[in-house]
Amino acid sequence: MTIATFALMSTVKQYLSLIKFSHTIFALPFALIGFFLGLLHCHYGDISYALTQSDRISITSLFGSKEVILFLLVLSCMVTARTAAMAFNRYLDRDIDALNPRTAIREIPRGVIKPGNALMFTVFNALLFIVLSGCINSLCFYLSPVALLVILGYSYTKRFTSLCHLVLGLGLSLAPIGAFIAVTGKFAWLPVLFSLSVICWVSGFDIIYSLQDEEFDRSQSLYSIPTGLGKEKALFVSRILHFLSASFIMAAGLLVPFSWIYWLGVVGFCGMLCYQHRLVKPYDLSRVNLAFMTANGIASVAFAFFVITDLFI
């Protein structure tokens, strides 16, 4: 391996760490749900009708060259939008992160990545997202600045509102409805219900994650549910949000005739929500990262697997 190759790999690794690429696992499975719902909708004209057909079309037969390109475009939009949002968050919070012992090891405070480079990285990915959206359809192109406004604007919200968790949830909730629009070019209630579930799910686990910074955020006059209500009440709010998240995916299952496979996914998703609340207590935050990454990662991937399986079996 040459020195130049090693340097390039090291730089790529640093930027992947900057944007926490592994956290893509939260929204991406729901984007896949929206995408495959869109494919079935285009083929059958109605999701409910599609789910009643005993000779349902196979997933592979839906993928011609056009669908493969569309899939890659949707995936690229997901990655570039999230990359822009995370890079901008790290850029904007660089001074705050430097003061917080938990976040002082991040790339910008450590001097591994320069603030100007992080900002240019943000602009590049934001512009690429708009271009890629335009390659999908006109509606996605027109909505792309709105999506960027939400996901980039989130980084400012903890400076003036405790509802910052809901704004983060709103940003990630664009995944299922955005993917559906990319395929169909229109809105529908079913992906909207999944988006509402994502808002509550993400907001709930972000509250849990922010428990770690309650004292620091209060010292810096930053807003969050834990700084406003305290740990115990914040966890109660998180439980309410996760109850609502479960309610929305149940409503989706009642809106169209999913089979027992979908409901098995619902049980698993709800089980992981309950599990993370068993892990975290107001007086014991030692397992917050386990609740945040592992429980929610499993919840999203497993639920998407069961939903997509139900759509094509």
What 3 state SS string does the chain have? CCHHHHHHHHHHHHHHHHCCHHHHHCCHHHHHHHHHHHHHHHHHCCHHHHHCCCCCCCCHHHCCHHHHHHHHHHHHHHHHHHHHHHHHHHHHCHHHHHHCCCCCCCHHHHCCCCHHHHHHHHHHHHHHHHHHHHHHCHHHHHHHHHHHHHHHHHHHHCCCCCCHHHHHHHHHHHHHHHHHHHHHCCCCHHHHHHHHHHHHHHHHHHHHHHHHHHHHHHHCCCCCHHHHHCHHHHHHHHHHHHHHHHHHHHHHHHHCCCCHHHHHHHHHHHHHHHHHHHHCECCECCCHHHHHHHHHHHHHHHHHHHHHHHHHC
Domain containing 78 equals 24-39+58-312
pLDDT of residue 255: 94
pLDDT at 3: 67
284: phi then psi, degrees, rounded to nearest 5:
-145, 100
CATH number of the domain bearing residue 297:
1.10.357.140
User: What integer is the mean pLDDT of 275-297?
Assistant: 87
Least confident of 65-69, 112-116, 225-229, 231-235: 65-69
Share of the chain above pLDDT 90, in %: 75
CA 141 to chain centre: 20
pLDDT at 235 over 80: yes
Given the structure tokens 């992981």, which residue do they identify? 272
pLDDT (mean) for 57-71: 82
| pTM of the entire predicted model | 0.93
Q: Between 243 and 294, where is the model more confident? A: 243
Q: Are 5 and 94 in contact (CB under 8 A)?
A: no
**Distances in whole angstroms, Cα of residue 313 to Cα of each of 48, 53, 184, 213, 259:** 14, 10, 22, 45, 10
Mean pLDDT of the chain: 91
Q: Within a domain: residue 162?
A: yes
Does residue 157 have a pLDDT over 80? yes
Tell whether 15 is covered by a domain.
Answer: no
Number of domains observed in the structure of the chain: 1
Given this model, what pLDDT does residue 67 score?
87
Residue 196 vs residues 146, 163, 252: alpha-carbon distances, Å: 17, 16, 10
The answer to whether 96 and 82 have CB atoms below 8 angstroms apart is no
Mean pLDDT of 138-162: 95
Q: Is residue 13 part of a domain?
A: no
Residue 18, in any domain of the structure = no
pLDDT tier at 4, thresholds 50, 70, 90: low
Q: Is residue 49 assigned to a domain?
A: no
Burial 236-265 (b: 16+ CB within 10 A, else e): ebbbebbebbbebbbebbeebebeeebeeb
The pLDDT of residue 45 is 83
Q: Please give the pLDDT value at position 25.
A: 82
Residue 70 in any domain: the answer is yes
**And the tokens for 136?**
């999908």
Is residue 45 assigned to a domain?
no
State percent of the chain over pLDDT 70. Answer: 97
Position 289 scores a pLDDT of 83
